[in-house]
C-alpha cells in the first residue's frame, strides 16, 4: 500500500502544477499589438479599462447600435463575414472608428466601395511629440488636435455605389510623404497637408477611418482622451478583440479577465478545484 503514495503524490503535484500554470497565464502580461491586456506601447490596456470587449463581431447584434461606439484596430485584413457585421452595425446607427495597418484598412474601404492606393508614411519634422512616429494632426470636424502614431498617406482613386468619402483630419503643412522610405526628406517628395482620417456615412451610422497605426494605443492614448470623450458622447465604447480568436492563450486571458480585473468566477473555480484536490489528497493519505 505504501508504494501507492509516491504515485498519488506525483498525480496531485501534476494537478497542482497545472492549476498554478493556469493561474499564472492570466497574470503574466502578453505582448500583442492592439491587445486589451498588453500594457506595452502598442497594446490597448489603457482604453480597455473603460470599454466592453467584443470577442466576436457576430456578437454586435446584442448591443444598441445607436448608443455604441465600436473601436477596431487591426494589423491584418478583416474577413467578409466580419465586414458584413460592421455594415449592419453602422447601418443601424452605430459609430465605428478604425485604425491599423494598410492591409486592414484597405479591406474595409474596398468592402464599402472605396478604392485607394497607399502612398507612404507621413513624417512631420515640426508638429510631432519629439518622436517622428507620433504626429500631431488637426481634426476639422471636432476643432481639436490629437496625436496619432505612424500615420500614412493614401489616395482615393475611385468610389462605388454612390458612397461619399470626406477627409476630416489633416497633418500640418510641414509634413511630407517618405516615399523611399528612409526616414528623411528627399528631393521630389511632396510636402503638404495630408488627410489622415476619413468619414464614410453608412445608413444611419458612420465609419471613421484613421490612416495610422495607432490612435488609442497606449503610447498616444493620454493625448487623445479628450477627443475620445467628445466622440463617444453618451455612447458605450466597444473594443474589438475578435482577432485574438486565432491565439488560444490570448483568447483565454480575455475570457477570464475583465476591465475590472480577473473574473471572480474564474477565481472561484480555481479555489474550488484546489479545495477538492486538497480534500481528496488528505482522504487518500488517511486510508493509507
- Is 34 part of any domain? no
Q: Which of 188, 190, 208, 206 is nearest to 198 (CA)?
A: 208
Domain check: are 72 and 17 in the same one?
Answer: no
- Is 251 part of any domain? no
Domain check: are 94 and 62 in the same one?
Answer: yes
Domain check: are 187 and 217 in the same one?
Answer: yes
Domain check: are 62 and 11 in the same one?
Answer: no
The tens place of each residue's pLDDT in the chain, 288 residues long, gives 445 556 556 655 665 555 555 555 555 667 899 999 999 999 999 999 999 999 999 999 999 999 999 999 999 999 999 999 999 999 999 999 999 999 999 999 999 999 999 999 999 999 999 999 999 999 988 889 999 999 999 999 999 988 999 999 999 999 999 999 898 999 999 999 999 999 999 999 999 999 999 999 999 999 999 999 999 999 999 999 999 988 888 888 888 876 555 544 555 555 555 566 565 656 665 665
Q: For the beta carbon of residue 287, count every other beta carbon within 10 angstroms.
A: 8
- Is 35 part of any domain? no
- Is 220 part of any domain? yes
Q: Output the pLDDT for position 145.
A: 95
Cβ atoms of 151 and 122 within 8 Å: the answer is: yes
The CA distance from 262 to 258, in Å, is 6
The CA distance from 287 to 285, in Å, is 5
- DSSP annotation of 180 reads S
Domain check: are 125 and 264 in the same one?
Answer: no
Cβ atoms of 247 and 35 within 8 Å: the answer is: no
**Secondary structure class of 221 (helix, strand, coil):** helix
CATH number of the structural domain spanning residue 193: 3.40.50
Q: Output the pLDDT for position 114.
A: 97
Q: Output the pLDDT for position 213.
A: 98
- Is 168 part of any domain? yes
- DSSP annotation of 78 reads P
Domain check: are 147 and 268 in the same one?
Answer: no
Side-chain half-sphere of 276: how many Cα atoms within 13 Å? 8
Domain check: are 264 and 158 in the same one?
Answer: no
Kindly provide the residue ranges of all beta strands, DSSP E only, lying in the chain, ordered along the sequence: 52-54, 68-74, 95-100, 114-123, 134-139, 144-159, 165-170, 176-178, 195-202, 205-210, 212-214, 236-240, 257-258, 261-262
Q: Output the pLDDT for position 43.
A: 97
The CA distance from 84 to 64, in Å, is 17
Domain check: are 170 and 92 in the same one?
Answer: yes
**Secondary structure class of 42 (helix, strand, coil):** coil
Q: Which of 135, 138, 216 is nearest to 177 (CA)?
A: 135
- Is 33 part of any domain? no
Q: What is the pTM of this model?
A: 0.83
- Is 84 part of any domain? yes
Domain check: are 208 and 267 in the same one?
Answer: no
- Overall number of domains in the chain: 2
Domain check: are 125 and 197 in the same one?
Answer: yes
- Is 158 part of any domain? yes
- By the 10 Å C-beta count (0-12 exposed, 13-18 middle, 19+ buried), 28 is classed as exposed
Domain check: are 220 and 110 in the same one?
Answer: yes
Domain limits for position 232 = 45-246
Domain check: are 22 and 155 in the same one?
Answer: no
Angle (CA) 88-90-91 rounded to 5° is: 60
Amino acid at each position: 500500500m505504501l508504494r501507492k503514495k509516491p504515485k498519488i503524490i506525483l498525480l496531485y503535484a501534476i494537478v497542482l502544477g497545472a492549476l498554478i500554470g493556469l493561474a499564472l497565464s492570466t497574470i503574466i502580461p502578453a505582448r500583442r499589438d492592439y491587445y486589451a491586456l498588453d500594457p506595452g506601447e502598442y497594446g490597448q490596456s489603457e482604453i480597455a479599462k473603460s470599454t466592453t470587449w467584443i470577442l466576436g463581431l457576430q456578437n454586435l447584434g446584442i448591443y444598441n447600435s445607436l448608443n455604441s461606439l465600436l473601436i477596431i484596430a487591426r494589423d491584418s485584413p478583416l474577413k467578409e463575414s466580419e465586414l458584413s457585421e460592421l455594415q449592419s452595425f453602422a447601418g443601424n446607427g452605430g459609430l465605428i472608428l478604425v485604425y491599423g495597418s494598410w492591409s486592414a484598412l484597405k479591406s474595409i474601404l474596398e468592402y464599402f466601395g472605396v478604392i485607394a492606393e497607399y502612398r507612404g508614411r507621413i513624417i512631420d519634422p515640426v508638429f510631432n511629440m519629439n518622436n517622428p512616429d507620433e504626429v500631431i494632426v488637426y481634426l476639422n470636424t471636432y476643432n481639436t488636435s490629437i496625436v496619432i502614431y505612424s500615420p500614412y498617406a493614401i489616395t482615393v482613386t475611385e468610389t462605388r455605389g454612390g458612397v461619399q468619402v470626406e477627409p476630416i483630419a489633416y497633418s500640418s503643412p510641414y509634413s511630407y510623404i517618405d516615399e523611399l522610405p528612409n526616414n528623411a526628406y528627399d528631393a521630389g517628395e511632396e510636402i503638404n497637408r495630408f488627410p489622415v482620417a476619413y468619414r464614410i456615412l453608412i445608413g444611419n451610422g458612420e465609419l471613421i477611418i484613421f490612416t495610422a497605426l495607432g490612435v488609442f494605443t497606449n503610447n498616444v492614448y493620454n493625448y487623445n482622451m479628450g477627443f475620445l470623450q467628445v466622440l463617444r458622447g453618451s455612447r458605450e465604447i466597444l473594443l474589438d478583440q475578435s482577432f485574438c480568436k486565432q491565439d488560444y492563450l490570448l483568447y483565454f486571458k480575455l475570457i477570464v479577465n475583465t476591465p475590472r480585473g480577473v473574473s471572480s468566477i474564474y477565481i472561484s473555480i480555481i479555489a474550488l478545484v484546489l479545495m477538492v484536490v486538497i480534500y481528496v489528497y488528505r482522504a487518500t493519505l488517511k486510508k493509507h
